[in-house]
Amino acid sequence: MKLSMISVLCVAFGLPVLVSAQLSGTVGPLTTRAEKAATKVCNILDYGGVASATTDNSAAITSAWAACVDGGEVYIPSGKYGLGTWITLTGGSAISINLEGIIYRTGTAGGNMIYIEHTTDFEFYSGTSAGAIQGYGYQFAEGIFFGPRILRLYEVTDFSVHDFVLVDSPQYHLTLDTCTNGEIYNMVIRGGNEGGLDGVDVWGTNIWVHDVEVTNKDECVTVKSPASYIMVENIFCNWSGGCAIGSLGADTAIFNVEYNHIYSQNCNQMFMIKSNGGSGSVYNCQFNNFMGHTNAYTLDINAYWTDETLAAGNGVEYYDLTFNHWHGTCADGDERAPIQVLCPSEVPCYDITIENYYIWTETGDEELYKCENAYGSGPCLNDGSSYTTYTTTYTVTTMSDYSYTTMSGEISSGLGITESIAIPTIPASFFPSITPYSTLLG
């Protein structure tokens, strides 16, 4: 997918962007960063803020927000700023946060360090692409106390979040909860090598997530229910749990979702759709141009995912799903099948398409494909419309054209949970040979 010159100019100046494919309309703020700043600038240093990594700046940020809530820019200058009390920023329109400094967590409560709700025409960015939020999550991993998420947006409309870094969250890093017309891009998320440290979780409608790198041991970029018209592109899962849809339960409602150009190395999976029981449906979704290596699972649709508590219902209905152009390797294709489509007999999967699929094992000289009650076109899927119960496992002994290109900056082991994670810089690319849609502001 290419952006038109008009779209490129919209991105450069912070205007809403109209993207094709699975989105339903424009995404991003309604007014530019310059227009917001021209209305009013609320520097947190003018509201009691102190450039100190050990001073609690929550009151200053909250006061600056209140002063600019009807239009303007909350400005956090270059420097170090402690955050000991979590902040909730409510309401407002035509408002931005320009994070030029680094915020360091000093508080110990659970919840959300920064929680933004019921806001429209909103932008959270770093004008130099050097801003960051450091969560010091390793301290929670040591069992000292239970910790917060870094950033959560709730019922925010016409917004963007971009050009800064989230590091070492004690829980999830970035959550978009029931948001609309949003764009997330040019970000790096670095978390510890354990579960519960999701990179980006998104549910809502008409949201574009692109050009993002995630390191952790849980979700990379994941769509949750309910969600529709979600586009996820140019994602670098750099030692992560991998991308997913789920976990899904009762009344699932996910449709018109596309993942495109996803690079995964040393991940739990390249992509997984996961449920255990439940109801509702996931349909009209595409998963194109996946590449990577040394992943445990690869393409994994699992309606019996026992890591999730069994939900009420016979199962989530999966249909009209396409997987096209996958290249690379898996760690051990005989132990963990690189194609696994497991669906319940009561609610079989159908209209599934798997094509141009070239994944080979790094261990041994054969790999398995496993399908259960799954219908469509592709390896181990049954064709036809008579959905009788079946289970198939067969062995693949040769594979051609599974070559892949490695990414600059691949890490060789998960990041520790006993010491602080360093704040990285944002890379120049998030998928081999693909230029990011938006140039870094810095």
* Both structure tokens of 372: 């259960």
Contacts of 19 (CB under 8 A, 6+ apart): 1, 3, 7, 27, 208, 231
337-358 confidence digits (pLDDT tens): 999 999 999 999 999 999 999 9
Given the residues 210, 261, 293, 327, the one annotated as active site: 293
Q: Reduced to 3 states, what is the DSSP secondary structure of residue 113?
A: strand
End-to-end CA distance of the chain: 25
Q: Reduced to 3 states, what is the DSSP secondary structure of residue 184?
A: strand
299-318 confidence digits (pLDDT tens): 999 999 988 899 999 999 99
* Both structure tokens of 387: 């959905």
Percent residues over pLDDT 90 in the chain = 90
Q: For residue 221, what are the β-bridge partners?
A: 200
Model confidence at 35, pLDDT cuts 50, 70, 90, reads very high
Residue in 212, 214, 323 with CA at minimum distance from that of residue 266:
214
pTM beyond 0.85: the answer is yes
* 8 A C-beta contact, residue 315 and residue 351: no
pLDDT of residue 141: 78
* Per-residue pLDDT at 5 exceeds 60: no
Amino acid present at 360: W
**Interior CA angle at 309 toward 300 and 225, to 5°?**
65
Helix (H) or strand (E) holding 131: strand 131-134
Helix (H) or strand (E) holding 82: strand 80-83
E strands present in 155-199: 157-162, 164-167, 174-190
* 8 A C-beta contact, residue 169 and residue 194: no
The DSSP-derived string for 188-233 is EEE--SSTT--SEEEEEEEEEEEEEEEESSSEEEEEEEEEEEEEEE
Percent residues over pLDDT 70 in the chain = 94
* Per-residue pLDDT at 375 exceeds 70: yes
84-131 confidence digits (pLDDT tens): 999 999 999 999 999 999 999 999 999 999 999 999 999 999 999 999
Model confidence at 20, pLDDT cuts 50, 70, 90, reads very low
Per the rule left: phi > 0, alpha: psi between -120 and 50, beta: everything else, 49 is beta
E strands present in 266-381: 271-275, 280-295, 299-302, 317-330, 339-342, 349-361, 367-372, 374-377
Give the integer Cα–Cα distance in Å for 55 and 108. 14
pLDDT of residue 385: 83
- Give how far the C-alpha of residue 428 lies from the chain's centroid of Cα atoms, to the nearest Å: 18
Contacts of 66 (CB under 8 A, 6+ apart): none
In the block, residue with structure tokens 């398995």: 368
Helix (H) or strand (E) holding 66: helix 58-68
Residue in 201, 387, 373, 377 with CA at minimum distance from that of residue 301:
373
Residues in the chain: 442
Q: What's the burial of 367, exposed, middle or buried (CB within 10 Å: 0-12/13-18/19+)? A: buried
Residue in 82, 155, 157, 95 with CA at minimum distance from that of residue 125:
95
Amino acid present at 372: E
Neighbours of 431 (CB within 10 A): 22
pLDDT of residue 386: 86
Residue 118 appears among annotated catalytic residues = no
* Per-residue pLDDT at 14 exceeds 80: no
Residue 423 DSSP symbol: P
* Both structure tokens of 276: 């255990």
pLDDT of residue 145: 56
* Both structure tokens of 351: 């209209």
| Per-residue burial over 412-426, b = 16 or more CB atoms within 10 Å of its CB, e = otherwise | eebbebeeebebbeb
Given the residues 218, 261, 300, 327, the one annotated as active site: 218
pLDDT of residue 356: 97
pLDDT of residue 314: 95
State the average pLDDT over residues 409-431: 95
State the average pLDDT over residues 199-225: 98
Give the integer Cα–Cα distance in Å for 328 and 326. 7
Neighbours of 427 (CB within 10 A): 17
In the predicted model, what is the mean pLDDT of the chain? 94
Q: Are strands 219-238 and 242-248 parallel, antiparallel or unpaired?
A: parallel
Residue 261 appears among annotated catalytic residues = no
Helix (H) or strand (E) holding 139: helix 138-141
Q: Domains of the chain, with CATH numbers? A: 1-239 (2.160.20.10), 242-410 (2.160.20.10)
* 8 A C-beta contact, residue 283 and residue 320: yes
State the average pLDDT over residues 47-73: 98
pLDDT of residue 143: 62
